[in-house]
Amino acid sequence: MLMGRYEVRMLYNKAAILLKGKEGSYIVVGDLHIGMERKLRDKGITLHTATESMALSLAKIAEDNDARKIVILGDIKESILNPDLVERSLITDFFRKLSRFDIVITLGNHDSRLDEIVKEDMRDELLLDNIALLHGHAWPSAEAMQKGYLIAAHNHIAMSFGKYHESHKAWLVANLNYENASKFYKKINKGIKLIVMPAFNDLITGMPVNEVREKNISPLFRNHIFDYDNSAIYSMDGMLVGSPASIREYR
């Protein structure tokens, strides 16, 4: 899909988006949660560190798509407040392996004190032509809501199927609910769409959209700014599966 100066492409079987433009291309990922393996180890689940493989995978995706720029949509670290020395070391090593790329971070709810560890370009949101990129835990700016696309992370999009309710990462594309959105924003692009990414960390499958939860973690869905139940859910290989409402009914 072409949005202004950029083509927006969800990469097959990768939790990543390519923004391809004449002025250069970006790879967009979200929800790294570096240090999660430490949390699992404390629960008795021993894993080799996923941080190095995650850095190498991200670098390869960028190189394969001729992208010199990377946007990370928040939740760089697993800890919400103060990271311990091990997590700090993992974060430092991750960005060292990606030092040849230009990186922008849109800060998430897990990124407190991240600026004490790395010195990348950090901001609340990134506006590129007709696209706004942000983590997704906070309200977009008024300017972002006038773009053609919002791209966010935060929700860890997934779906569950089968006898044992296996969870699989997925993509979500939602339309604006203009009636509700106009209660919060004076000027809105009525055609704006919201793309919510799966988590990039392989240790995170996500929150299945076809499991009912009392409260959605995104303010955009919680306040019905975008239509969650009737959004389009795509599998990682690009197949349109249905909407959360229809998948829930099927299950």
pLDDT score of 247 = 87
Q: Are 179 and 224 in contact (CB under 8 A)?
A: no
Tokens 């570096």 — which residue? 34
Determine contact, residues 180/117, Cβ cutoff 8 Å.
no
Confidence (pTM): 0.93
| Average pLDDT along the chain | 92
Kindly tell me if the per-residue pLDDT of 44 is higher than 70: no
Q: Once rounded to an integer, what is the mean pLDDT over residues 172-190?
A: 97
Please report, rounded to a whole number, the percentage of residues in the chain having pLDDT higher than 90.
78
Provide the H-helix boundaries in the chain: 36-42, 51-64, 85-97, 178-181, 219-222, 244-250
Q: What is the CATH number of the domain that holds 133?
A: 3.60.21
| Model pLDDT for residues 194-239, shown as the tens digit of each residue | 999 999 999 899 989 988 777 899 999 999 999 999 999 999 999 9
Quick one: how far is CA 2 from the chain centroid? 20
Please write the tens of the pLDDT for every residue from 12-35: 999 999 999 888 999 999 999 998
Total tally of structural domains belonging to the chain: 1
Is it the case that residue 49 has pLDDT exceeding 80? Answer: no
The residue segments making up the domain with residue 192 are: 2-250
